[in-house]
Structure 1
Amino acid sequence: MGKIKVRNIKIYAHHGCLKEEAIIGSEYLVNISVNAPLKKASLSDSLIDTVDYVHLNRIVKEEMKIASKLLEHVAKRILHRIFSELREVSKAKVSVSKINPPIGGDVENVTVILKEKRTA
């Protein structure tokens, strides 16, 4: 078993409960970590034997384009896509961070982290 991480995927998106957030949008950082069997790929040097991180990045970009009120909702959609499209993934962790959130203070970011294991 091994782990693949895609860190600090920078995306401009339109998530939030405030009407202004949906209109103006803001910057986000998304991190993904997936567990999968990587031994075969380490020996074969073949992309077909591993989890393609280009595919992971595409999932994030596509799901972040769909506006949501809550970061939890976006993270859950990303997890769902990972498990439905990448059969070799056994565990996944997704964090979605909103940079400079409009919460009435000097806050660098807020982050939601969701983890899941494949059940079947």
Structure 2
Amino acid sequence: MDKIYVNQMEFYGYHGLYPEENKLGQRYKVDVVLNLDLKQAGKSDHMDDSIDYGKIYHITKDVVEGKAKHLVEAVAEEIAYQFFASFEKLNSCTVKVYKPDPPIPGHYQSVAVEIFRERS
């Protein structure tokens, strides 16, 4: 299966279990991999035969910067759901949501959740 990658998109959202997270917000990063057949797009050189990268970005932005959720798992799930609703050519996708500054004591780069979903 062919893949479209959009890596390290950055947004500011208000997700989390703690009231401070919902009030102050924080940075999020998102990587997505969309799996679909790109053979026709490669031959035709027409956008209609692929998926618009800008639309991928805007869907992701709308979810991450939209309604607050308790879990990054729910953020990732909503992004995948919106991709399937928007892109009929999409067969499956991987969504990875990074939370660089969760309220967890310790030294680490980030926490992240990665999900893989297929069209049913």
**TM-score normalized with structure 2 length:** 0.95
- Partner Cα distance (1:52, 1:117) in 2: 19
- Partner Cα distance (1:5, 1:29) in 2: 14
- Partner Cα distance (2:116, 2:53) in 1: 18
Q: Residue 51 of structure 1: CA displacement?
A: 1.0
Between Structure 1 and Structure 2, how many residues are aligned?
119
Write out the 4+ residue segments of structure 1 that deviate beyond 4 Å after TM superposition: none
Q: Residue 70 of structure 1: CA displacement?
A: 0.3
1:13 matched to which residue of 2? 13
Where do residues 26-105 of structure 1 align in structure 2 (5 Å cutoff)? Answer: 26-65=26-65, 66-105=67-106
**What secondary structure sits across from 1:101 in the alignment?**
coil
Tell me the percent identity: 34
**What secondary structure sits across from 1:80 in the alignment?**
helix
**Unpaired runs of 5+ in structure 1?**
none
What is the RMSD of the two structures over their aligned residues, measured on CA atoms? 0.8
**What secondary structure sits across from 1:35 in the alignment?**
strand
**TM-score normalized with structure 1 length:** 0.95
Contact 1:60 1:78 in 2 (8 A): yes
- Partner Cα distance (2:73, 2:92) in 1: 18
- Partner Cα distance (2:15, 2:23) in 1: 9
Letter in 2 for 1:52: D
